[in-house]
Amino acid sequence: MQTIFVTGGAGFIGSNFVTWLLARPNLKIVIIDKLTYAGHMLNLQDVLGLPSVSFIQADIADRSTLDRLFTEHSPDVVLNFAAESHVDRSIDNPAPFIETNTVGTFVLLEAARHFWMTLTTEKKARFRFLHVSTDEVYGTLGAEGLFSEETPYAPNSPYAASKAAADHFVRAYFHTYGFPTITTNCSNNYGPYQFPEKLIPLMILNALEGKALPIYGDGRHVRDWLFVEDHCEGLWMVACQGKPGEKYNLGGNNELSNLELVNLLIDVLEEFEPAHENQPLHRQGIAAYKDLKVFVDDRPGHDRRYAIDASKVKAELGWAPKFTLLTGLRKTVQWYLSHRNWCEAVLAENYGRERLGLKN
């Protein structure tokens, strides 16, 4: 029986990972989450109450609580999902990103390292600390090329800078202390339980309600899209088989401009919720979802293109994404259509889908 710490486990990727992990036998899962605006108990409603799952509300920057949790639960693996993750919010207020992403990761590393030092030689050898990061730490690409594990860091937003700093701490703890850390850097995730400030759920909900579909700048910023279930599988493979001290890029091999993605999403919405049956559109005299598209002022410092080279993790661990973008988007749209109550609950008093990230 292995014990797995999942920090940030009530957030988007973390909660999906916990659900995915339940199909694996002989695991005890301890979820640790501060429950900020994007972390919700609703994300865990299908897993809490199971004998193999426990939840503790705690901040990863709270050292005394972490020390107690490590002593009480004695984890074999720590997966750090805890993060502030929305670039626009980091432009408006960088402080929470530094506090959680950078300082929180440092405190978690310290607590985990001191616990690890108390273990037997055999348990030390099995212990892993997996830090979940982003491709945004690499900065921006031109029209050609891919981010590899050797790409120099060049973060261009406060969010990316806070994650880059955390990545460097994780790397340093391996090289300085021999602490068995691994880092993954992933491309843009999408899927169920993503807070509706992010592009795909925002577009889905706005379209269904007949609201504008805001596209930043010229809409030609390119991102690589990875379905969250594929990401979860890759993370577990890295946690189980990855080499301490290494980093692995996880990408979906699905490059699209934001405008292309919105157009594809509109096509998928039309399959499940045709525009001619959408009453909010009818009331405004709008015939098609595409007529809701509007170009707005670009995000300050908006990176032009991200693209991941995931050949290392494929060659060494055998991981590759299984979902095509169209298959993943269909699953995602169907989930949001059938979980409107979840959308209303997580948005209540937190976020009205207004534009963020324009402050100087």
Name, in order, each residue with C-beta under 8 angstroms of 193's C-beta and a sequence gap of 6 or more.
12, 15, 16, 43, 342
Q: Which of 84, 88, 138, 159 is catalytic?
A: 159
Q: How far apart are CA 42 and CA 337, in angstroms?
A: 16
> Which long-range CB contacts under 8 A does 116-122 form with residues at least 24 apart?
116/179, 116/180
Q: In degrees rounded to 5, what are phi and psi of residue 323?
A: -90, 135
Using only C-alpha atoms, what is the Rg of the chain?
A: 20
In 3D space, the residue among 133, 140, 135, 169 whose CA is nearest the CA of residue 156 turns out to be 140
159 catalytic? Reply is: yes
Q: 160 and 212 in contact (C-beta within 8 Å)?
A: no
Q: Is 230 a catalytic residue?
A: no
Token duo for residue 115: 């616990």
What are the structure tokens assigned to 235, written together? 């993370």
Q: Is 136 a catalytic residue?
A: yes
* Catalytic hit among 136, 167, 230, 303: 136
Contact (CB, 8 A) for 80 and 128: no
How far is Cα 187 from Cα 147, in angstroms, rounded to an integer?
10
Q: What gap in Å lies between CA 291 and CA 286, rounded to an integer?
A: 7
Phi, psi dihedral angles at 190 (to 5 degrees) = -150, 160
Report the distance separating Cα 36 and Cα 196, nearest Å. Answer: 14
Catalytic residue among 135, 224, 229, 233: 135
Question: What are the strands, taking DSSP E only, across 151-288?
Answer: 181-186, 188-190, 213-216, 222-227, 247-250, 255-257
Active site members: 135-136, 159
